[in-house]
Structure 1
């Protein structure tokens, strides 16, 4: 399969194996993408133009985190399980998250409701299938694939979507444990907000937008009560 912002129908949800194979191909290709700015001294960004099967360009961020900042287990606990629900805690624009359907232990459909500043930008709704894979062999790695989903084949599920302009995004995210115990956090995404926002406006701010999720996440993670 090819990962893009094209929505998949409920009757065409991919297998874990197909989704992960497509994600691995993207991760491998990111090493040749054009490097952009570095944000917050540790978040490097990369870009790839829209390909023939893509609906939008791709953007990537890579950051490396030492164990004292965040361990693999801490990162995976918050990103590999209940990802959409946890994102609401550290991404300010997400105001509501609804779990639409638990397809399987590794596949969850969620709908995310975003509001933006300035208020003249209408709220956006993104509905995604999130697929996870944890590889416990050394070096440990965890992958999360998010694919836009069209719920119209099931009217009961479609009723769970919030009202708003429908946007679409696809993303692949990987946590990989390094030899020194640090973790590489790599994420690549392609998206469209829908509506009439000019594409150039969205694209020029994309690298900075995805980069800021890293410090937002770390701030949230460190604010949580310590567990024994």
Structure 2
């Protein structure tokens, strides 16, 4: 496996998880050399670049949430947590198997006037309990959708690792995606960094409430996904799409 891309993968061509992990490690090592987004903070870095012809975004966050909370939410089915947490994912169901990978269909509700999207994904994971770390992957699956559904495509992977001394968790993720339909790619790219940043404290609060003592962390949830996309829609009326190949709105 030499790259992740947005092409649909048939069941017989799903890569070995070991190959996916090797490529994820390569991308995570490379990401800090990408342009750093202005949305980054001291404890949360957002990077972006064009890689193999696709816009890629990466996020690295150090968080004070127990590793076991992350593991319970991510393994073996992160999509169940997505339905509980993300306001724009309202359904997921397993639909196929391919060795180490399981095929899922997800239903996304987009804000405003955009039509719903359906996504089919191969989901796989590796977990090293001794090292206190795991990887999860979602790759585009060549699986059928209902007639009339608008297909979106999405690649993401997460690496969650506990520091053995401080017990702090480093949560890294990277993605490339295309919601397709009538949502321009440049608008999608413009919204992603803001969503990346706002998701971290909100998801950490979700973990604490679900698996911990039911109280919030000492962090505000920040803007919702709807808030971020509304800002992007407002900006659309004031700006033209970027002309330079590989340049994303909102990056400096």
Provide the TM-score with structure 1 as the length reference: 0.84
Q: How far apart are the structure 1 equivalents of 2:198 and 2:42?
A: 12
Between stretches 12-21 and 38-47, larger displacement belongs to 38-47
Distance in structure 2 (CA, Å) of the matches to 1:14 and 1:28: 21
> After superposition, where does 1:25-64 map in structure 2 within 5 Å?
25-38=26-39, 42-49=43-50, 51=51, 53-54=52-53, 56-64=54-62
Of residues 98, 102, 108 in structure 1, which corresponds to 2:102? 108
Q: Is the partner of 1:144 in helix, strand or coil?
A: strand
In 2: Cα distance, 1:220 partner to 1:46 partner: 24
Say what the alpha-carbon RMSD is for the aligned residues: 2.1
Instruction: Return the alpha-carbon distance in structure 1 between the equivalents of residues 39 and 21 of structure 2.
Output: 28
1:172 to 157, 164, 167: 157
CA contact (8 A) 1:33 1:46 kept: yes
Higher relative contact order (CA 8 A, sep 6+): 1
- After TM superposition, the score normalised by the length of structure 2 is 0.77
Higher strand share: 1
What pairs with 1:215-226 in structure 2 (closer than 5 Å)? 215-224=201-210, 226=212
Give CA-to-partner distance per residue, 1:33-72, whole Å, 9 cap, x none.
11113457643211112x3x34x20001111112xxx111
CA–CA distance in structure 1, aligned partners of residues 190 and 79 of structure 2: 25
CA contact (8 A) 1:97 1:112 kept: yes
Partner Cα separation in structure 2 for residue 122 and residue 40 of structure 1 = 33
**Contact 1:99–1:111 under 8 Å retained in 2:** yes
Q: Hey, what's the Cα distance between the residues in 2 that align with 1:129 and 1:196? A: 25
User: What's 2:191 paired with?
Assistant: 205
Q: What are structure 2's unaligned runs of at least 5 residues? A: 214-252
- The count of corresponding residues between Structure 1 and Structure 2 is 211
